Chain A
Amino acid sequence: MKKKKILSIDDEENIRLLLSCELEDEGYEVISLGNPLQAMKMIEDEQPDIIILDIKMPQLSGIELLKMIRDKYYDLPVILLSAYSTFKRDVAAMASDYYVVKSADLNELKKLIKKIFKTHL
């Protein structure tokens, strides 16, 4: 069976590495991107099944990118990641499937990814 593809977008290299290692161990194919400005092109080229998106990035905020993704890809699952729980106050975050506060423990994130793949509308 074809592996599910996850696109991780984060400007911090150590976070990208952590996500890649942990999620590849779970059996997913993970592609990473440090520059959110290249995200739309990469989504078009790679056609990921899920996007994990950091919120605070210098070139473009994850919330802005989420709006662009939603505009073009109606149902592409997106999980927002942030070190700050205050981002939940931004209503635009509600257009993501889930939002997770960054932590070294990725269990919550892994559970949500599984949940999304089980979701059937």
Chain B
Amino acid sequence: MGKSALNDEALEILNTIARADILVGIPSYNNEKTIGHVAEAIKLGLAKYYPTAKAVLFNSDGGSDDQTRMVFERIARTNSYDTFFIKEPQFPLKTVSSQYIGIPGKGSAFKAIFEAAQMLGVKACAVLDSDLRSITPEWIQLLLEPVLAKGYGYVCPFYRRYKYDGTITNSIAYPFTRALYGRRVRQPIGGDFGFSGKLLKLYLNQDAWDTDVTRFGIDIWMTTTAIVNGFKICQSFMGAKIHDVKDPGADLGPMFIQVVGTIFSLMSTYGSHWQKVVGSRPTAILGFQSETAPKPLNVNVSRMITKFTEGISSHKSSYQQIFSEQVFTKLMEVAEMSGDNIDFPKTLWAKVVFDYAVFYQTAQDHQRVLQSLIPLYYGFISSFVHETENLDDYQAEEIIEELCQIYEDSKPYLIEQWQQNKS
């Protein structure tokens, strides 16, 4: 487990609390505008659905230089139950806001949350992003109840998202994880999860806390670890996810590298597992399903196409090294034809990802390798936007399903490349 992510102040408070049934954690970094709403929803949800439980709300902060922690503490400690027609819980909610110790990042924040939950011996734990705007008190029940009442080990969120929100999920994290490990978890990096005390213990015992897992890799690492270790998984329907969305053509570089790097690294850890997996199985979706309209997001396609074409010329020699001749030739054809209406075939994209996954295993400079994949990702996303521009979110979902099938059907190619690389 390594060095603790909890500081002395947090340890002292947790020692005073001693035991709890439930812990809900919020990682944060400069989220003063949104954390109050998240903390309020959690506080109300805990009182409404778990009025007799001993509950702890834990804010794990990365050293915010704004008012994040103050806002959290003020909201979490305000008695607002009556305003929302909710009875005060039997045991007053305990709140902790603490700056975690370790590499700055979401994973380190989660580690502190996990350690706190383990110290308190909780039965169930949930984590929720601090930039959520669509969270309601019901989300708490949706993430915790499958663990507490139905024996699930891991609960993933199932959101309605705008067709261009979550492009890393849609193009790699979901289809690749599904093809590798055989479980269809639609939001494997959804950010909001519930899990059992048993899974929590497993997470803390893993030797991964000094990798990209400490940053944005944490979500995919949690999901993959739960799947591979045979925990019973479900998805809870949370409605629409409204949060601080980003244009996929901007700012996603570090997240892309950390998420994809973690997926590739885990392939080595679980190589003997995923090579035996054929096909995929669905995952139950719990919760009341209603029509919700996610917030549209503007996408700058021309910027992505420019990044794609610039990347093709600057990384051409790397691509020749990474790809088979067939994949390289096809990629160059796509690049030559890429105007505003780029057509990046899904079968080619799956092979691009597979070839990268294999090359990554023996590469010296992982960061550089992943950096060179980003332009191709922009190329594929531009093509996806072009293909789906006149489709609604449901129809776009069918295109993603088609991509998933292609990943699954192309898996023998991955296994062949993987085994050749190992021999």
Contacts and interface: CB of A to CB of B under 8 A. Distances in A.
B279 interface: yes
B285 A118 contact: no
A92 B282 CA distance: 11
B394 A70 contact: no
A89 interface: yes
A90 B46 CA distance: 29
Interface string A97-118: 1000000000000000001101
B279 A95 contact: no
B202 interface: no
A120 B184 contact: no
B284 interface: yes
Given A78-B282, A91-B158, 5 more contacts: A88-B394, A88-B398, A95-B284, A120-B277, A121-B181
A70 B289 contact: no
A95 B237 CA distance: 12
Nearest to A73: B284
B184 A94 contact: yes
B284 A74 contact: yes
B280 interface: yes
A99 B281 CA distance: 13
Interface of B: 150, 158, 160, 181-184, 186, 232, 237, 276-285, 289, 394, 398
Interface in A40-76: 67, 70-71, 74-75
Interface residues of A, number: 22
A53 to B, nearest CB: 13
24 contacts: A67-B284, A70-B284, A71-B284, A74-B284, A78-B282, A88-B394, A88-B398, A89-B394, A90-B289, A91-B289, A92-B289, A94-B184, A94-B285, A95-B282, A97-B281, A97-B282, A116-B279, A118-B278, A119-B281, A120-B182, A120-B276, A121-B181, A121-B280, A121-B281
Contacts of A8: none
A23 B241 CA distance: 42
Given A88-B398, A91-B289, A94-B186, A120 B278 contact: yes
Nearest to A63: B289
A56 B278 CA distance: 31
A32 interface: no
Given A71-B150, A120-B276, A96 B282 contact: yes
A95 to B, nearest CB: 5
A95 B278 contact: no
Contacts of A88: 394, 398
> Which of A91, A97, A120 has most chain B Cβ within 10 Å?
A91
B157 to A, nearest CB: 12
Nearest to B284: A70
Contacts of B182: 119-121
Nearest to B230: A121
A17 B342 CA distance: 48
B150 to A, nearest CB: 7
B183 A121 contact: yes
Contacts of A70: 284-285
A71 B145 CA distance: 13
B303 to A, nearest CB: 32
Nearest to B160: A91
B176 to A, nearest CB: 16
Contacts of B285: 70, 91-92, 94-95
A70 B146 CA distance: 13
B277 A95 contact: no
Given A90-B289, A91-B158, A119 B284 contact: no
A99 B276 CA distance: 25
Nearest to B283: A95
A113 to B, nearest CB: 12
Contacts of A78: 282
A88 B391 CA distance: 14
Contacts of B278: 118-120
A92 to B, nearest CB: 6
Interface string A22-46: 0000000000000000000000000
Nearest to B277: A121
Q: Considering the complex of A and B, which 3 residue pairs feature the smallest CB-CB distances, nearest first? A: A119-B279, A70-B284, A121-B182
Contacts of B280: 119, 121
Contacts of A116: 279
A91 B237 contact: yes
Contact of B279 (A89, A91, A115): A115
Contacts of A91: 158, 160, 237, 285, 289
B338 to A, nearest CB: 31
A120 B183 CA distance: 11
A96 B281 CA distance: 8
